[in-house]
Structure 1
Amino acid sequence: MTSTNTHTNTPRVAVVTGGSGGIGRVAAERLAADGLAVVVSYSGNPAPAEEAVQAIEKAGGTAIAVKADVADETEVAALFDAAEKRFGGVDVVVHAAGIMLLAPLAELDLADFDRMHRINVRGTFVVGRQAARRVRSGGAIVNFSSSVTKIALPSYTAYAATKGAVDAMTLILAKELRGRDITVNAVAPGPTATALFLKGKPEAVVDHLTKMSPLERLGTPDDIAEVVSFLAGPARWVNGQVLYANGGVI
């Protein structure tokens, strides 16, 4: 069934940053399956983004790929321009782009901290600013936080700090959009089996993280995409919240 904009009776449109891989790609495919036209935003290699578009189209959906550095105001504005030119507007923004560089606070290279801050914090601010200006009435903005802000795992200090900033921006933007009928929420995944999460982790560490949840497994991208789908569609009374999708870890 096609998801339509109630005001114009046209298909709803989603912009998904980080949509070429990991949770972002699965979220893009889920939203396309929900009937939204999807703009898959990527920052580097176009091949995975085109693969995501092809997968969506093969499943009967509609999508395009657009390159944009989420921390670059001009490129993000052009991303939204492309969405509006191709599909007529933007109803949903899922900001899944982000990086995670781990080390204890005393050992983390400040260049890595600055890189995470640029992408995770400035990127959320830049994308959020365009979303606040462009998303149509009845729309939704979904940011990506992390359960590590509560779990407080060693070596995650800098990464968790960037996601704490995402939480603050999410809660405040929801109030700043008063009267617009636009919801703003964040999804905070727990340990999830993605390349980003599993990279460099010894098997013993992965086993420990697996057992943290009462469900005794890692999350999957599909688990997180289900929450994104809920916030992007039927969850009109959920607003200004950080939803912890972590299988009960906290």
Structure 2
Amino acid sequence: MVPTFTGALCMGKLEGKVAIVTGSSKGIGAGIAERLAADGAKVIINYSRSVEDANRVVKRIVDAGGEAIAFKADISHPADIGPLIDSAVQAFGRLDILVNNAGVYKADSLDELSADSFDEHFNLNVRGLLLTTQAAARVMNAGSVIVNISSGLAHSPYPQVHVYCATKGAVNTLTRSLGMELGPRGIRVMGIAPGFVHTEGNAESARGMDEFFIAKTPLGRVGKPQDIAAAVAYAVSEDAGWVTGTTLDVSGGMTF
């Protein structure tokens, strides 16, 4: 179940800031969007398929006293990226935070993987992330923050998801190189690497897998979207003002 952040907003923490969270109509992305809104940011809820899901996230944010709009864009399609960035500027006048959350995860052992699977993963998880960052950086000012959602599988890979693991390794590398390039402009870049997190998206595919993942997680539980949202809230805050080009592991210590 996607967490909701209700009650009075944390006025001031992100007051006046505008954020885009890609792939935020459900799951981890929705949790991140709601947390940023609860901290005072105006948020673009990006979705590629279900406007109904996106509108539900917008409604939860608005009902809690925040501001948000939904915008359809498939990050794996380069032509969709510019209009997404423009939507923030047109609706709210600026863009301060980009959370690159949209991604695809599919099993692909060595016998099963294909060129199509490779392209599907890299076109969204890597190319889409980089081109979205490129477009966002063109309108961002000093003090802005870009957060890339990686995975614990980037540094602790699993052989049944070769291509996905490879994309997240690329994301970690991009977090470092983008941090180096954008640092002189006062724009920080951070990565967040979740472990196994319960979401609507994996409710069926991961059914019965809790014990397997918990056994590999020193903190003894699976993650929740709000665990990742809290880490993102730190990454975009002034508390992380001396942190860039690095990826924070938020996985309960999970290793394979």
The TM-score by the shorter chain falls in which range? over 0.9
Match of residue 233 from structure 1: 237
Deviation string 1:54-94 (CA, Å, 9 cap, x unpaired) is 00000110000111111333321111111101111000000
Deviation string 1:105-144 (CA, Å, 9 cap, x unpaired) is 2222331221111111111111111122122211100011
- Cα distance in structure 2, aligned partners of 1:139 and 1:2: 18
Deviation string 1:1-43 (CA, Å, 9 cap, x unpaired) is 43478xxxx7110011011011000000000000000011111
Equivalent pair of 2:25/2:47 in contact (CA under 8 Å): yes
Pair 1:25 & 2:30 matched: yes
Gaps spanning 5+ residues in structure 2: where? 1-9
State the TM-score, normalizing by the size of structure 2.
Answer: 0.91
Deviation for aligned residue 1:146:
0.6
2:218 partner SS: coil
Match of residue 224 from structure 1: 228
Equivalent pair of 2:179/2:188 in contact (CA under 8 Å): yes
> 1:214 corresponds to which letter in structure 2?
P
Equivalent pair of 1:4/1:12 in contact (CA under 8 Å): no
Equivalent pair of 2:23/2:29 in contact (CA under 8 Å): yes
- Cα distance in structure 1, aligned partners of 2:202 and 2:195: 10
Gaps spanning 5+ residues in structure 1: where? none
Aligned counterpart for 1:108 among listed residues 100, 109, 113: 113
- Cα distance in structure 2, aligned partners of 1:73 and 1:37: 24
Moved over 6 A (4+): none
Aligned counterpart for 1:2 among listed residues 11, 14, 21: 11
Aligned counterpart for 1:173 among listed residues 162, 170, 178: 178
> 2:234 corresponds to which letter in structure 1?
F
Pair 1:83 & 2:92 matched: no
1:188 partner SS: strand
Equivalent pair of 1:72/1:126 in contact (CA under 8 Å): no
- Cα distance in structure 2, aligned partners of 1:195 and 1:113: 24
Deviation for aligned residue 1:231:
0.5
> 2:77 corresponds to which letter in structure 1?
D
Q: Which moved more, 1:57-66 or 1:172-181?
A: 172-181
1:44-123 matches, cutoff 5 A: 44-123=49-128
Q: Which moved more, 1:138-147 or 1:207-216?
A: 207-216
Match of residue 193 from structure 2: 188
- Cα distance in structure 1, aligned partners of 2:32 and 2:67: 14
Q: Which moved more, 1:173-182 or 1:137-146?
A: 173-182
Match of residue 208 from structure 1: 212
- Cα distance in structure 2, aligned partners of 1:199 and 1:161: 24
Q: Equivalent pairs: percent with the same residue?
A: 38
Deviation for aligned residue 1:206:
2.6
Match of residue 42 from structure 2: 37
> 1:26 corresponds to which letter in structure 2?
G
Deviation string 1:122-171 (CA, Å, 9 cap, x unpaired) is 11111111122122211100011110122222202110001111111111
1:137-148 matches, cutoff 5 A: 137-148=142-153
**Aligned-residue RMSD, C-alpha:** 1.5
State the TM-score, normalizing by the size of structure 1.
Answer: 0.93
> 1:96 corresponds to which letter in structure 2?
N
Q: Which moved more, 1:71-80 or 1:208-217?
A: 71-80
- Cα distance in structure 2, aligned partners of 1:142 and 1:42: 18
Q: Which moved more, 1:168-177 or 1:108-117?
A: 108-117
